């Protein structure tokens, strides 16, 4: 099976939907603060896709790219799409950057992690980041939540108990949820275990903040080879939280997740162009059963999966990208 890193970044449809929802969330937050005045900090990847989109859609013109691999850093500079993108003075990890950077202006920080075995260090980065953020700063964290990465026992031992022990080895006790158990090691439940650890990291980062509070915005799980969890929040003065909700109406947004309690799934069907055109002609007014009847088949290996994916498509079709062949 393909891993998240083996699929070209710009050809990950589910991640593209999640990125589009990130833009939607920022547009809502823009009713409370001027997003175009923010500095964006993130991992660019070889093609710098997020940087291009944030500039195009939100006019952000102060950007810093973090990259620890020197070859990728050279490639990023070659593909640099905008003059307003700055590269850190040297190749460095997110840990080094967070520890040395002065967050001296309002920032949007996206820690888009891919690797699974570095989860504990990634959570430590989140702690340090959150401790340095101020009122109005926005953060987004993406973590690998693909439970098969925990492996399986060679003998007849229980797979979920084995994975639970592996997870406890991977994540130190300070990030372990009190509700952690073997049931959470199942593929569908595992993102909840990772999110619980992320919550603990965020709480640890906010421990010394007296007047500030993290307000959760959304939480998604998607899969383009590997299952990934992403959560977004904003740091606010406690006495301005009510004003934030009033001005942004974020709680009325379809993809808002209060307290990150409801992780929304972005897992969309693989449709041919003809199938997709027919389905979109039936939206937004049709449900799965009506679409299934019109198609005459279910577009997946199993109907239960087809139903789940099609219901997601009904929710996200406006941000689902089209991929096509063209000549430059």
Range 183-210 average pLDDT: 96
Give percent above pLDDT 70 in the chain.
95
Does the pLDDT of residue 194 top 90, yes or no?
A: yes
Express each pLDDT in 298-312 by its tens digit: 999 999 999 999 998
CB 139 within 8 A of CB 109: yes
Express each pLDDT in 50-87 by its tens digit: 999 999 999 999 999 999 999 999 999 999 999 999 99
Which stretches within the chain are classed as H helix?
A: 13-29, 49-58, 70-79, 94-100, 119-132, 159-170, 190-205, 241-248, 273-281, 288-295, 303-316
Express each pLDDT in 205-262 by its tens digit: 999 999 999 999 999 999 888 999 999 999 999 999 999 999 999 999 999 999 998 8
Nearest CA to 106 among 198, 29, 164?
Answer: 29
The better pLDDT of the pair 141, 155 is held by 141
The pLDDT score that the predictor gives to residue 14 is 86
The pLDDT score that the predictor gives to residue 326 is 61
Give the CA distances from residue 137 to residues 39, 107, 214, 232, 259, in Å, rounded to whole numbers and listed in that order: 10, 5, 10, 11, 18
Q: Which two tokens stand for residue 86?
A: 């700055």
Give residue 189's region: left, alpha or beta (phi > 0; psi -120 to 50): alpha
User: What is the Cα–Cα distance from 98 to 127, expressed in whole angstroms?
Assistant: 10
Does the pLDDT of residue 5 top 50, yes or no?
A: no
Does the pLDDT of residue 325 top 80, yes or no?
A: no
pTM (predicted TM-score) = 0.90
Largest pairwise CA distance in the chain: 59
């Amino acid at each position: 099976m393909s891993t998240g890193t083996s699929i070209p970044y710009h050809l990950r449809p589910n991640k593209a939907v999640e990125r589009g929802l990130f833009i939607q969330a920022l547009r809502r937050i823009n009713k409370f603060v001027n997003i175009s005045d923010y500095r964006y900090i993130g991992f660019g990847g070889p093609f710098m896709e997020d940087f291009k989109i944030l500039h195009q859609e939100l006019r952000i013109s102060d950007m810093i790219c973090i990259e620890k691999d020197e070859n990728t850093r050279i490639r990023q500079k070659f593909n640099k799409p905008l003059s307003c993108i700055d590269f850190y003075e040297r190749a460095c990890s997110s840990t080094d950057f967070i520890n040395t950077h002065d967050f001296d202006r309002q920032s949007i920080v996206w820690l888009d992690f891919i690797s699974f075995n570095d989860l504990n260090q990634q959570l430590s980065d989140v702690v340090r980041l959150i401790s340095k953020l101020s009122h109005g700063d926005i953060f987004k964290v993406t973590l690998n939540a693909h439970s098969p990465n925990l492996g399986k026992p060679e003998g007849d031992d229980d797979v979920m108990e084995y994975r639970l022990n592996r997870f406890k080895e991977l994540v130190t006790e300070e990030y372990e949820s009190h509700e952690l158990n073997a049931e959470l090691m199942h593929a569908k439940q595992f993102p909840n275990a990772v999110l619980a650890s992320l919550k603990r990291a965020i709480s640890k980062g906010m421990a010394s903040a007296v007047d500030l509070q993290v307000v959760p915005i959304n939480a998604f799980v998607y899969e383009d080879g590997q299952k990934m969890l992403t959560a977004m929040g904003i740091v606010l003065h406690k006495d301005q939280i009510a004003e934030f909700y009033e001005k942004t109406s974020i709680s009325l947004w379809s993809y808002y997740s209060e307290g990150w309690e409801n992780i929304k799934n972005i897992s969309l069907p693989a449709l041919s162009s003809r199938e997709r055109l027919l389905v979109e002609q039936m939206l937004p007014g049709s449900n799965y059963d009506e679409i299934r009847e019109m198609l005459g088949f279910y577009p997946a290996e199993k109907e239960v999966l087809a139903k789940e994916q099609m219901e997601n498509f009904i929710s996200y079709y406006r941000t689902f990208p089209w991929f096509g062949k063209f000549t430059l």
